[in-house]
Amino acid sequence: MSAPLDPTKLKITTVGSRKTYPPNEELTFGKIMTDHMLVAEWDSETGWGTPEIKPYADFQMDPASYVFHYAFCCFEGQKAFVGEDDQVRIFRPDKNMARLNKSTSRIALPTVDPDVGVKLMREFVKIEKDVIPKGRGMSLYLRPTVIANNASLGVGVPTKALFYIIASPVGSYKASGPIRLKATDDAVRSWPGGTGDTKLGANYAPCVVPQQQAAKEGFMQNLWLFNGYLTEVGMMNFFLVFLNKETGKKEFTTAPLDGLILEGVTRMSILELARERLDPTEWEITERKVHITELIERSKKNEVLEAFGAGTAAIVSPVQEVCYHSESVVLPTAVDGGETTKLVRKWIQDIQYGVDVHPFAEVVN
Amino acid sequence: MSAPLDPTKLKITTVGSRKTYPPNEELTFGKIMTDHMLVAEWDSETGWGTPEIKPYADFQMDPASYVFHYAFCCFEGQKAFVGEDDQVRIFRPDKNMARLNKSTSRIALPTVDPDVGVKLMREFVKIEKDVIPKGRGMSLYLRPTVIANNASLGVGVPTKALFYIIASPVGSYKASGPIRLKATDDAVRSWPGGTGDTKLGANYAPCVVPQQQAAKEGFMQNLWLFNGYLTEVGMMNFFLVFLNKETGKKEFTTAPLDGLILEGVTRMSILELARERLDPTEWEITERKVHITELIERSKKNEVLEAFGAGTAAIVSPVQEVCYHSESVVLPTAVDGGETTKLVRKWIQDIQYGVDVHPFAEVVN
Residue by residue, DSSP assigns A217-255 as TT-SEEEEEETTEEEEETTEEEEEEEE-TTT--EEEEE-
Q: Looking at chain B, which residue has its C-alpha nearest residue A144?
A: B69
pLDDT at B175 over 70: no
Nearest partner of B156 among B107, B110, B101, judged by Cα: B107
Measured CA to CA, the distance from residue A221 to residue A230 in angstroms comes to 13
Measured CA to CA, the distance from residue A358 to residue A133 in angstroms comes to 21
Q: Do B188 and A193 touch (CB under 8 A)?
A: yes
Q: What are phi and psi of A181, to 5 degrees?
A: -115, 145
Strand partners, A75: A145
Tell me the C-alpha to C-alpha distance, in Å, between residue A161 and each of A43, A67, A123, A146, B209. 7, 9, 21, 7, 16
Measured CA to CA, the distance from residue B75 to residue B79 in angstroms comes to 13
The SS3 call for residue A130 is helix
Q: Taking residues B340-359, what's their average pLDDT?
A: 97
Question: Do B165 and B188 fall into the same domain?
Answer: no
Alpha-carbon gap: A205 to the closest alpha carbon of chain B (Å): 5
Residues from chain A that touch B31, judged by Cβ atoms under 8 A, are 152-154
Q: Does B165 touch chain A (CB under 8 A)?
A: no
pLDDT at A362 over 60: yes
pLDDT tens across A308-358, in order? 999 998 899 999 999 999 999 999 887 788 999 999 999 999 999 999 999
Question: Do A108 and A214 fall into the same domain?
Answer: no
Question: Do B49 and B196 fall into the same domain?
Answer: no
Q: Which amino acid is at B141?
A: Y
Q: Does some domain include residue A1?
A: no
| Listed residues A151, A172, A193: the one ending a domain | A172
pTM for the structure as a whole: 0.97
pLDDT tens across A209-266, in order? 999 999 999 999 999 999 999 999 999 999 999 999 999 999 999 999 999 999 999 9
pLDDT tens across A52-90, in order? 999 999 999 999 999 999 999 999 999 999 999 999 999
pLDDT given for residue A115 in this prediction? 97
pLDDT given for residue B176 in this prediction? 63
Count the Cβ atoms, other than its own, within 10 Å of residue A285.
18
Q: Does some domain include residue A365?
A: no
Q: Does some domain include residue B40?
A: yes
DSSP A31: T
Q: Does some domain include residue A190?
A: yes
Question: Do A341 and A229 fall into the same domain?
Answer: yes
Q: Does A215 touch chain B (CB under 8 A)?
A: no
Q: Do A154 and B28 touch (CB under 8 A)?
A: yes
Tell me the C-alpha to C-alpha distance, in Å, between residue A214 and each of A48, A121, B107. 43, 36, 15
Alpha-carbon gap: B329 to the closest alpha carbon of chain A (Å): 24
Instruction: Give the nearest partner residue to A58 out of B60, B168, B203, using CB atoms.
Output: B60
Measured CA to CA, the distance from residue B153 to residue B219 in angstroms comes to 40
Percent with pLDDT over 70 in chain B: 99
pLDDT at B174 over 70: no
Measured CA to CA, the distance from residue B234 to residue A241 in angstroms comes to 44
pLDDT given for residue A176 in this prediction? 63
pLDDT given for residue B169 in this prediction? 97
Would you tell me which residues 167-186 of chain A have a C-beta closer than 8 angstroms to some C-beta of chain B? 168, 185-186
Q: Does A125 touch chain B (CB under 8 A)?
A: no
Residues from chain B that touch A236, judged by Cβ atoms under 8 A, are none
| Listed residues B172, B187, B214: the one ending a domain | B172
pLDDT at B300 over 80: yes
Among B34, B35, B44, B69, the strongest candidate for a mutation testing the A interface, having the largest count of A CBs within 10 A, is B69
Q: Do A208 and B152 touch (CB under 8 A)?
A: no
Q: What are phi and psi of B357, to 5 degrees?
A: -75, 115
Question: Do A159 and A287 fall into the same domain?
Answer: no
pLDDT given for residue B147 in this prediction? 98
Measured CA to CA, the distance from residue A304 to residue B207 in angstroms comes to 40
pLDDT tens across B51-66, in order? 999 999 999 999 999 9
- Per the CB < 8 A criterion, the answer to whether B48 and B11 are in contact is no
Residues from chain B that touch A229, judged by Cβ atoms under 8 A, are none
DSSP B203: G
Question: Do B189 and B292 fall into the same domain?
Answer: yes
Would you tell me which residues 66-85 of chain A have a C-beta closer than 8 angstroms to some C-beta of chain B? 67-73, 75
Nearest partner of A16 among A36, A40, A39, judged by Cα: A36
> What is the bridge-based pairing of β-strands A179-184 and A315-324?
parallel
Question: Do A163 and A233 fall into the same domain?
Answer: no
SS3 content of chain B, % helix, strand, coil (to 5): 25, 30, 40
- Per the CB < 8 A criterion, the answer to whether A3 and A48 are in contact is yes
Instruction: Identify each DSSP E strand in chain B by its residue range.
Output: 11-12, 36-43, 47-48, 52-55, 59-61, 73-75, 78-82, 88-91, 139-148, 160-170, 179-184, 221-226, 229-233, 236-243, 250-254, 283-287, 304-311, 315-324, 327-330, 361-363
pLDDT tens across B78-104, in order? 999 999 999 999 999 999 999 999 999
Measured CA to CA, the distance from residue A297 to residue A41 in angstroms comes to 53
Q: Does some domain include residue A127?
A: yes
Q: Looking at chain B, which residue has its C-alpha nearest residue A226?
A: B193
Q: Taking residues A19-36, what's their average pLDDT?
A: 94
Tell me what ipTM this predicted complex has.
0.97
Alpha-carbon gap: B89 to the closest alpha carbon of chain A (Å): 21
The CATH number that applies at residue B279 is 3.20.10.10
Q: Does B259 touch chain A (CB under 8 A)?
A: no
Nearest partner of A308 among A360, A266, A279, judged by Cα: A266
Instruction: Give the nearest partner residue to B204 out of A71, A192, A211, using CB atoms.
Output: A71
pLDDT band at B254 (very low <50, low <70, confident <90, very high): very high
Measured CA to CA, the distance from residue A102 to residue B144 in angstroms comes to 31
Q: Taking residues B197-220, what's their average pLDDT?
A: 97
Least confident stretch, A202-216, B145-159, B327-341: B327-341
- Per the CB < 8 A criterion, the answer to whether A33 and A56 are in contact is yes
pLDDT tens across A131-190, in order? 999 999 999 999 999 999 999 999 999 999 999 999 999 987 654 678 999 999 999 999
pLDDT given for residue A178 in this prediction? 85
Q: Looking at chain B, which residue has its C-alpha nearest residue A31?
A: B152
Strand partners, A2: none
Q: Does A204 touch chain B (CB under 8 A)?
A: yes
Measured CA to CA, the distance from residue A50 to residue A69 in angstroms comes to 27
Question: Do B186 and B330 fall into the same domain?
Answer: yes
- Per the CB < 8 A criterion, the answer to whether A183 and A323 are in contact is yes
Q: Taking residues A180-201, what's their average pLDDT?
A: 97
Q: Do B205 and A62 touch (CB under 8 A)?
A: no
Q: Does A58 touch chain B (CB under 8 A)?
A: yes
Q: Does some domain include residue B137?
A: yes
Stated as kind and residue range, the H or E segment containing A184 is: strand A179-184
Domain that holds residue B92: 7-172
Question: Do B237 and B314 fall into the same domain?
Answer: yes
The CATH number that applies at residue A131 is 3.30.470.10
Q: Do B141 and A156 touch (CB under 8 A)?
A: no
Looking only at Cα atoms, what is the longest distance across chain A? 66
pLDDT at B173 over 70: no
Instruction: Give the nearest partner residue to B33 out of A64, A141, A201, using CB atoms.
Output: A64
Give how far the C-alpha of residue A249 lies from the chain's centroid of Cα atoms, to the nearest Å.
Answer: 31
pLDDT at B257 over 60: yes
Q: Does A145 touch chain B (CB under 8 A)?
A: yes
Looking only at Cα atoms, what is the longest distance across chain B? 66
pLDDT given for residue B332 in this prediction? 81
Q: Do A28 and B157 touch (CB under 8 A)?
A: no
- Per the CB < 8 A criterion, the answer to whether B320 and B352 are in contact is no
Question: Do B196 and B168 fall into the same domain?
Answer: no
Instruction: Give the orientation angle of helix B93-106 with respect to helix B265-277, to 10 degrees.
Output: 140
Question: Do B149 and B17 fall into the same domain?
Answer: yes
Q: Do B71 and A202 touch (CB under 8 A)?
A: yes
Q: What are phi and psi of A109, to 5 degrees?
A: -90, 160
Measured CA to CA, the distance from residue B69 to residue A202 in angstroms comes to 9
Helices (H) and strands (E) in chain A, counts: 7, 20
pLDDT given for residue B365 in this prediction? 84
pLDDT given for residue A335 in this prediction? 78
Q: How many domains does chain B have?
A: 2
Alpha helices in chain B (DSSP H): 66-70, 93-106, 114-128, 205-216, 265-277, 292-300, 339-352
pLDDT at B184 over 60: yes
Q: Do B193 and A206 touch (CB under 8 A)?
A: no
| Listed residues A124, A145, A172: the one ending a domain | A172
pLDDT given for residue A365 in this prediction? 84
Least confident stretch, A196-205, A354-363, B23-32: B23-32
Question: Do B125 and B24 fall into the same domain?
Answer: yes
Q: Does some domain include residue B333?
A: yes
Q: Does some domain include residue A360?
A: no
Measured CA to CA, the distance from residue B194 to residue A189 in angstroms comes to 7
pLDDT given for residue B310 in this prediction? 97
